[in-house]
Structure 1
Amino acid sequence: MGDKQGFRFHGGRPSVNFTATVGERWRDGGFERLPDPAALGRWCTEAGLTPADPACTAADLVAARELREAVYRLMLGRLSGTAAADEDVATVNRWAAHPPPVTALRVTSAGLRAERVPATVPSLLGLIAADAVAVLGGGDAARLRECANPECSLLFLDTSRAGARRWCSMAACGSRDKMQRYRAGDR
């Protein structure tokens, strides 16, 4: 699927996008888009969760991957109708209990100003887990989909009016399908 190191943000929600930090899951476990702690920090920034890369440790990376896989299994289970594993639910709930990043008031010469407190990895993982709870436990769960491209394992929320979206991205998998059908004469 092209650039293996670039992050994918086609999921529609932070928790869904976080599951895309493993690419090509269909290919013998796929490949890791979070190979080191710095990549986790970059993902948090590129995902719009924080304005600056948080300091990440090896332990943070292990925890993030554990959360990601629990969220992925729960979302995939939702799609297939498989019962949720207790340990995955416990992992998501444990992280969802962490306080999310906060803003605070700061006194300046111009008066009061809202300022984001530098985010920590636990606060960002808490934010991702809380989003997963909202997706899986709310109305968005019915809109959760897996890309129809057999060589893509990305999940996404179908926000189309008809609820018939098939591709993680029309610009990627959707256009590939259209081109393949065009070349095969299925216009």
Structure 2
Amino acid sequence: MIRVMLADDQALVRGALAAMLALEPDIEVVAQVASGDEVVAAARLHRPDVALIDVQMPGKDGLEATAELRAAVPACRVVICTTFGRPGYFARAMENGAAGFVVKDAPPEHLADTVRRVHAGLRVVDPALAAESLASGVSPLTPRERDVLRQARRGGTVAEIARALHLSGGTVRNHLSSAMGKTGASTRAEAALIADERGWL
């Protein structure tokens, strides 16, 4: 049996995925979690072979959770399973050690097949998304610029962003200015929106 863990903050989606995979004779769902913060602890407890992880979740997002899971439980292979097939997400997922990337509107049999192939040691990615990711290139943002834009996306002031990230106001303004230049945006809100749409955050 292939032991699978599901990480998705939407209970209906998680339940549907679990029910669908339960129909497969060689797949068993051994754990379900609703946030990125729960992924590593659940994997250590249940020892899944494959983890299906959503990107957008409370706490750590699925991409951060993937990197932590790969470091903490290297035997567990990761498939990103998301509604958002963005090139930036795909590139970061691969950088963080994911072995597969599928979108939730894929046919059910494709998801089960992906689980089997990833468990067998293969990589499974959507060819169109991989091509789009190569064409769009890697994110130009530094990790700190990403942090600042994530905070800006929530509508925080420079002072609030500085407090949240333990930076000075001047440093936050420098990172915002750099991120705006790299995204071609005229405001920090626009920069956050552009970066988010490209999957860079």
TM-score category of the 2 structures, normalised to the smaller one:
under 0.3
Using structure 2 for the length normalisation, give the TM-score.
0.27
Considering Cα pairs closer than 8 Å and 6+ residues apart, tell me whether 1 or 2 has the greater RCO.
1
Using structure 1 for the length normalisation, give the TM-score.
0.28
